[in-house]
Each structure stands twice: as structure tokens, then as C-alpha cells.
Homo-oligomer: A and B are copies of this chain.
Amino acid sequence: MHWFLLNAIFLPLALKFHTMSLLTVGTVAFDTIETPTGIADMVVGGSATYSSWAASYLVDPIRIVSIIGEDFPANELELLRNRGVDDKGIKVVQGGKSFYWSGRYHDNMISRDTLVTDLNVLADFDPVLDAEASQSDYVFLGNLTPDIQRSVIEQMTIKPKVIAMDTMNFWLDIALDSLMETIKLVDILIINDEEARQMSGEHSLVKASKFILARGPRYLVIKKGEHGALLFGDDQVFFAPGLPLLEVVDPTGAGDTFAGGFMGHIARTGDLSFENMRRAIIYGSVMASFCVQAFGVERLKNLNQNDIEERYEQFKHLVHFD
């Protein structure tokens, strides 16, 4: 039989059975957000919530591992289940309260003051992966203590195709050794520019990338908020802009949404080439550009494939020259 016919039969089968489960470990929480234009009181948030909403438009199934109190609204979990998100790994603590964060943004919509951080049930978060979760092909570790992130990696019973992680300056300050141990074990580190500078001691992001890539990850994504994102790896660099928007309503969760879109595209394609990472960065940027257009996850709840592909084309047009 000709190779082309063989391909015609077996390639679709291979694609169908290309497992592309995405495990996301992070917070599912409440946020109260003040911006110069409004307040959103006790809306759902958290890194696992934002990243799952974003990834749900690109890949299926998604498994969340997280912890909530009994105050968390059942219908919000149902909305996620309706989008192919498996919430069996979200532990509900009876009598407990969900993680709560409150913050106020400055006029520039970038800097912000934290008003309240109530860890609540998050203080005792010790994620235990069931058999299914421990065999996930793609793993995104939202910002948590580096010890917890490492314990998740150690529970994986089959080596994942990609492990990506986020972190924050707080862990650089108080748990640097553990953080650097964890970074050794991941394929992709996703951090912001200030964190990259703090971690490396270098102001130049090119120098920072060399420092970090020498310490474990194959790829480094540096988020620059409204200024876009950089991807370093395989001796190449890619830059994706932020989409200039008429109005930014609420930047909360944009970074986690970016990570969700990014990982969603990687998981659905299974392609780890630098060329495909470029596309993944754009899908992340697309999802983040929707996220900031409303408070919380609201804008992420009612998208369709057309919205996403149209915005992908907008990014193309934004940077195109010949």
C-alpha cells in the first residue's frame, strides 16, 4: 500500500488518540478588585480558574487540582465542567473559606496595592494527584510555594510531555533555593520581566534569559504586561506585543489567562518546536487580551472559536511588515 494511503488511514487515528490532557494546579479563589473605573466584589478568580477558562477553548480534557472552602459557588464549578474541565481534583474543605485576595489598581492599570490576602484553606493546600491526574501529558503549575510545585512534579507517574510553571517575586525573596530546585525540573518557566531580572541579577532580559535557561528550562517566557511577552529558547527569541485596546477594565488574571492559552495550544498540537511556541505565545496573548476587557473571568465565559481566530489575525496584522 502506498505510504500516502497508509498516512491517510493512520494519521487521523494518531491525531484522535493523541492524548492531550492538561493538568493545571493552582488557586481557585475570590477576588475583590478596585480599578479607577469600578469595583468587582468577591468575583471568582485564582490562577487555576483563569488558566482553565483560557485553555478550555483549545484543549480537552483539563484537570484542575486545587482547594476551596464550602463558600465557593457550585454554579461556577458547573460552568467549568460544561467546558470540559474536570474538577474532581478540587478539594472542598467543609467549614473552610476559599482563598481571598483584594487589590486596588493605580491609574496606569499596571501597578496595584494589595489590600487583603486571606490564605484561608490555601494555608493547608497539599495537592494529592489521583491516578488520572498523575498521567497528564501537559502540566501547568500556577504560582504556589515552590515546594508544592515540586511535590506535584514528583507525583507524576508518567513523564509529562511539558511541564510549565509560574512563580512570583515573593518566592524569590523567601524560598530562592527551593525555587531554583523546582525550575530545574520544568520545561518552560513563565515569569514577568521584574522576576526575570531579580532571579538573574541582570537588567538585560537577554542576559537574564541566558542565566535562567542554563538552570533547567528549555524555554523561558517573560511577560511584560501591556508591553507584550518574550520567548527565549533554542538560541532564538520571539516577541509578541500586547494588543492595543480601547479600554482595559481589569488586568487581574491576565498572566494566568496567558499561560492557559499558551499551554492550551501546546497541548492541542503536541508540537514543541520554537515555531509552534511562537503560535502558542500568540494564543496566550489573544486570551489575555480578552481577559482584561471585563472584570474577573467574565469575558472568558462567552467566547467562540471565531472570536479567537479573528483576534489571532489582529495580532498578525498588528506586527506585519515585509
Q: Considering only CB atoms and an 8 Å cut-off, how many residues of chain A contact the other chain?
A: 35
Contact of A204 with B321 at beta-carbon distance under 8 Å, contacts A241-B228, A241-B239, A241-B241 already known? no
Stretch binding the partner chain, chosen from A38-46, A139-147, A243-251, A302-310:
A243-251
Shortest distance from the beta carbon of A227 to any chain B beta carbon, whole Å: 4
Interface residues in A79-105 (C-beta closer than 8 Å to B) = none
Quote the shortest CB–CB distance from A250 to chain B (angstroms).
14
User: Which listed segment binds B: A23-31, A153-161, A312-320?
Assistant: A312-320
A281 to B321, CA, bound (A): 10
Is the Cβ of B319 less than 8 Å from the Cβ of A245?
no
Does A109 interact with chain B (Cβ within 8 Å)?
yes
Task: Tell me whether A237 is interfacial, beta carbon within 8 Å.
Answer: yes
Complex interface: chain B residues within 8 A of A228 (CB): 227-228, 241
> What is the chain B residue whose CB lies nearest that of A315?
B321
Distance in Å from the Cβ of A263 to the closest Cβ of chain B?
A: 17
Q: Are B322 and A246 in contact, CB atoms less than 8 angstroms apart?
A: no
Q: Is the pair A108, B203 in contact by a Cβ cutoff of 8 Å?
A: yes
Q: Are A204 and B279 in contact (CB under 8 A)?
A: no
A10 at the interface (CB under 8 A from B): no
> Looking at the complex, which one of B205, B224, B238, B245 makes contact with A204 (CB distance below 8 Å)?
B245
Task: Verify A245–B206 contact, CB threshold 8 A.
Answer: yes
Tell me if A's interface is mostly helix, strand, loop or mixed: mixed
Decide yes or no whether A113 CB sits under 8 A from chain B: no
A82 to chain B, nearest CB (A): 31
Identify which of B109, B239, B321 contacts A279 (C-beta below 8 A). B321
> Across the interface, do B318 and A239 meet the contact criterion of CB distance under 8 Å?
yes
Contact present for A321 and B241 (CB under 8 Å)? no
A318 engages B237 (CB within 8 Å): yes
A164 contacts chain B at the CB level, 8 A cutoff: no
Which residues in B have their C-beta under 8 angstroms from that of A205? 244
A237 to B317, CA, bound (A): 8
The verdict on A165 contacting chain B, using a C-beta distance below 8 Å, is: no
Q: How far is the CB of A313 from chain B (nearest CB, A)?
A: 11
Q: Is A184 an interface residue (CB 8 A)?
A: no
Q: Are A248 and B321 in contact (CB under 8 A)?
A: no
Residues in B whose Cβ lies below 8 Å from that of A237 = 244, 318
> Taking A227-B227, A241-B239, A244-B239 as contacts, is the C-beta distance between A321 and B278 under 8 angstroms?
yes
Q: Do A319 and B204 touch (CB < 8 A)? A: no
Q: Beta-carbon contacts of A149-184 to B below 8 Å, as 1s and 0s?
A: 000000000000000000000000000000000000
> Is B224 touching A227 in the complex (CB atoms < 8 A)?
yes
A191 within 8 Å of B by Cβ? no
A residues touching B (Cβ–Cβ < 8 Å)?
A: 107-109, 203-207, 224, 227-228, 230, 236-241, 244-248, 275, 278-279, 281-282, 316-322
> A204-B245, A206-B245, A281-B321 provided; 5 other pairs, C-beta below 8 A?
A204-B248, A228-B228, A239-B241, A278-B320, A278-B321
